[in-house]
Structure 1
Amino acid sequence: MISNIAEKKLNILHLITRLVVGGAQDNTLLTVKNHHRTFYHVCLASNPDGVWLDRAKDYSDRFYPLSSLVNPISPLKDWKAFWDIVSILKKEKIDLVHTHSSKAGILGRLAANYCKIPVVHTIHGFPFHDFMPSWQRQFYITLEKAIAQKTDFFITVCELNRKEALELEIVREDNSQTIYSGIDFDKLDETFDSQSLRQELNIASETKIITMVGRLDQQKAPYYLITAFAKVVEKCPDTALLLVGEGELEESLKNQVKQLNIEEKVKFLGSRNDVPAILNITDIFALSSLWEGLGRAMTEAMLMGKPVVVPNIYGIPETVHHNETGLLFEAKDTDKLADNLIFLLNNPQECDRVGKNAKELTRKLFDGKEMVKRIEAIYQKVLETKGISQIKQSFK
């Protein structure tokens, strides 16, 4: 709870690379939305090319489109993006910058340092992983360690990420903290018209539904889920697989589905603004990712009481406890993935039990409003360390 009256509002800039559907984006937008406006004037800057542009404009006090901020390395655009960010910092007289994602995190921290403005960076996931060449992984680690010197405080979305960052000497104990990504419970607790949605998707009321929500890319590796699903329909033929998301693998995945002769069972839904409604009609949520931070869509499914079948990787086991709040399998093990899905489909009581446990745990950990309070407490700590005292508040 925040008390006392601010002497003046602090100007905060949140910076993220893209506004595509994703966990980092949802986390950022929810933070922007729920900042205490008595104390904060909140700006947001991002590349405007994304389906969540309207949310960005609605939630922020001022939105800055940065078309120069792009994901792949582009020296000319990166140089322009740097100076565009500097211009925003000066124009808005920003007191603190909060960066999200790798590209925005690098350019935003450099710009903040150039302007001598304190900066907080959220590690939603690392740009390096175990499935890239060792030289490339080491390059990104070295880059992260270098830019870390220009960071006042780090937030990680799972404790495993913080521990890895500590081991790699990217963060320190005294300048890092794990804050689980909060989620807006209100959007998950709405009343949904399940029958109409099933009719729209042409799915019969008795058909069981397995859903994946995420980008169709190498990280999420949905081809493993499709391979496993082909085995599932052999045992549980009245089952559908919904793939919610877009990505560079979409055409190859459609070819895979065609080759497996399960075209009538798999639906590619693209990006959707009604993910909670889709999760509502879902029986099991599944992922076959190779690496994850914590898995935001997975968390939303758990918050709605859905059992999840997900890989035993990175931060996922912090909330998915095998046979308690979900079922785990080793990454790439399509046989075990299929077995877990078949087990839940054939045992509805276990489905209900695991889903209920998942909801009970996650409702305690992922309150969006509590997340923002903890983030604002970090802001205050950083600003006090820097001797900035425009705002007087206490956090309880």
Structure 2
Amino acid sequence: MAFVSKPKIIAHFILQLDIGGLERVMLNCIRRMQQQSDVKHVIISLTTANDFSQDDLREKVAVHCLNKKAGNDWKLHFRLFQLLKEIKPDILHTYNLSTIEYHPIAMLAGVKGRIHAEHGRDINDPKGLNKKHNFLRKLMSFFIHRYVAVSDELFQWLNTTVGISKTKTQLITNGINTEFFNLPKQPSENIRFANIARLSPIKDHKNLLQACQLLQKEHDEMPWTLTIIGDGPLREELALLTQEYQLNERVNFLGARDDIAELLTEVDVFVLSSIAEGIPMTILEAMSASTAIIATEVGGIPQVIEQHKEGILVEKQDAIALAQAMAFYLKNVEKAKEHGKQARDKVLNSYNEQRMVKDYLACYEQLL
């Protein structure tokens, strides 16, 4: 799809350009859009930006950091206004609660199209019931042309709880490159569990480690390992907890990595212990790589994982249930392979990156 007029500019406004699922969705979309249209993209970070691994984007996409101070930073509104007047974007696309309040500034700066996307929730409001936050989301509907939700659960929440009109909301589920995440599995005598997530409270790695402690007590004789991929503020605390639980020979921390497709070749079961989620990119990537899934039954995850078909769903913050699900795959290795195959089939049919990009391009075009 290509715009018939001069190239348009889309400004993507995010809290921080860091390593995470939301950031990968955004960057993957930008890459695909550049291949399929003449749209130009810029990224605005409310705070700072780390180096991102998409080598083909670094020289093509400008990144602007507003370096927001902690607390109220009223001068930031003026800096954003000046930046938008300089960039002259045709559309401002904000992501999650942290950037939604700046749409009036975008309107004053002459930005024609204004879109806000909800990808998930914060640890302080995992169910999205904070009245102050939802009042802000509702208030901003006077300035926002389109709200995008990445899961059915978020879509219904925007309509019923927040009170956004259905005429302003759109469901665009996340999608991934199913060709890229399709490398053959490397054989192993161990059952290899893995978790890929930012090491932050909402991902609840403490509960995952507690489950591993229980698993080790009940199945110490069985060969299994857990690899945790990602970085974040809880890195040191989780490493100490691993030592306290005497899991050092079982659990390995790899830190932040950009070779996820290769790492998934050595994973039999992907485990996600989050308290809240949208539709996590890491689950879709693992599914595309024919990996069985254990995940908490939160957010949009039940939309993706059918119980005992692509994996196993458990209640959040329930270490016993999580350990039991891991034990199931320890005892039923062939089921892990079967669920992994069905997981890939699900992604191929419903969560393809090309479909996601097509939907976003159509959404942008409608506002121009």
Cα distance change on mapping 1:51 and 1:210 into 2, 3 Å: farther
Task: Give 1:45's aligned residue.
Answer: 44
CA RMSD of aligned residues (A): 2.4
Cα distance change on mapping 1:116 and 1:91 into 2, 3 Å: closer
Task: Give 1:115's aligned residue.
Answer: 109
Instruction: Answer whether contact 1:68 1:80 (CA < 8 A) is retained.
Output: no
Q: Which moved more, 1:27-36 or 1:109-118?
A: 109-118
Matches within 5 A, 1:353-364: 353-364=338-349
* CA deviations over 1:343-374 (Å, ceiling 9, x no partner): 11211111111111111011122221221111
* CA deviations over 1:137-163 (Å, ceiling 9, x no partner): 222222222223221001111011010
Alpha-carbon distance between aligned partners in 2 of 1:126 and 1:147, rounded to the nearest angstrom: 18
Task: Give 1:106's aligned residue.
Answer: 101
Alpha-carbon distance between aligned partners in 1 of 2:307 and 2:260, rounded to the nearest angstrom: 25
Alpha-carbon distance between aligned partners in 1 of 2:114 and 2:212, rounded to the nearest angstrom: 44
Task: Give 2:150's aligned residue.
Answer: 157
The SS at the match of 1:168 is helix
Under a length normalisation based on structure 2, what TM-score does the superposition of the two structures give? 0.91
Identical aligned residues as a percent? 22
Q: Which moved more, 1:33-42 or 1:301-310?
A: 33-42
Q: CA deviation at 1:99?
A: 1.3
Instruction: Answer whether contact 1:32 1:59 (CA < 8 A) is retained.
Output: no
Matches within 5 A, 1:325-344: 325-344=310-329
2:137 to 144, 147, 152: 144
Structure 1 unaligned regions, length at least 5: 196-204, 384-396
Matches within 5 A, 1:198-237: 205-234=188-217, 235=219, 237=222
Aligned residues: 363
Structure 2 unaligned regions, length at least 5: none
Matches within 5 A, 1:295-314: 295-314=280-299
The SS at the match of 1:257 is helix
Paired AA for residue 105 in structure 1: I
Q: CA deviation at 1:278?
A: 1.6
Cα distance change on mapping 1:64 and 1:188 into 2, 3 Å: same
Alpha-carbon distance between aligned partners in 1 of 2:230 and 2:123, rounded to the nearest angstrom: 22
Q: CA deviation at 1:121?
A: 1.1
Instruction: Answer whether contact 1:6 1:39 (CA < 8 A) is retained.
Output: no
Instruction: Answer whether contact 1:157 1:293 (CA < 8 A) is retained.
Output: yes
Under a length normalisation based on structure 1, what TM-score does the superposition of the two structures give? 0.85
For the pair 1:75 / 2:58, whether they are aligned, the reply is no
Matches within 5 A, 1:267-346: 267-346=252-331
Alpha-carbon distance between aligned partners in 1 of 2:99 and 2:169, rounded to the nearest angstrom: 19
* CA deviations over 1:329-353 (Å, ceiling 9, x no partner): 1111111111111111211111111
The SS at the match of 1:240 is strand
Paired AA for residue 350 in structure 1: K
Task: Give 1:387's aligned residue.
Answer: none
Instruction: Answer whether contact 1:240 1:265 (CA < 8 A) is retained.
Output: yes
* CA deviations over 1:239-296 (Å, ceiling 9, x no partner): 1111111222222222221221111211111111112222220111001111111121
Q: CA deviation at 1:221?
A: 0.6
The SS at the match of 2:12 is strand
The SS at the match of 1:246 is coil
For the pair 1:34 / 2:19, whether they are aligned, the reply is no
Alpha-carbon distance between aligned partners in 1 of 2:266 and 2:182, rounded to the nearest angstrom: 13
Task: Give 2:177's aligned residue.
Answer: 184
Instruction: Answer whether contact 2:10 2:39 (CA < 8 A) is retained.
Output: yes
Instruction: Answer whether contact 1:211 1:242 (CA < 8 A) is retained.
Output: yes
Alpha-carbon distance between aligned partners in 2 of 1:103 and 1:158, rounded to the nearest angstrom: 19
For the pair 1:125 / 2:115, whether they are aligned, the reply is no
Instruction: Answer whether contact 1:24 1:101 (CA < 8 A) is retained.
Output: no
* CA deviations over 1:84-135 (Å, ceiling 9, x no partner): 332232222211111123223333x23212223221111111347656997x
Cα distance change on mapping 1:91 and 1:50 into 2, 3 Å: same
Q: Which moved more, 1:234-243 or 1:10-19?
A: 234-243
Alpha-carbon distance between aligned partners in 2 of 1:81 and 1:27, rounded to the nearest angstrom: 26
Alpha-carbon distance between aligned partners in 2 of 1:17 and 1:176, rounded to the nearest angstrom: 22
2:161 to 154, 168, 174: 168
Cα distance change on mapping 1:57 and 1:244 into 2, 3 Å: same
Q: Which moved more, 1:59-68 or 1:115-124?
A: 59-68
Q: Which moved more, 1:124-133 or 1:326-335?
A: 124-133
Task: Give 2:87's aligned residue.
Answer: 92
* CA deviations over 1:146-192 (Å, ceiling 9, x no partner): 22322100111101101011112342211111111121234313578
Alpha-carbon distance between aligned partners in 2 of 1:231 and 1:330, rounded to the nearest angstrom: 16
Instruction: Answer whether contact 1:214 1:244 (CA < 8 A) is retained.
Output: yes
Cα distance change on mapping 1:251 and 1:322 into 2, 3 Å: same
Q: CA deviation at 1:311?
A: 0.8
Task: Give 1:393's aligned residue.
Answer: none
Q: Which moved more, 1:350-359 or 1:36-45?
A: 36-45
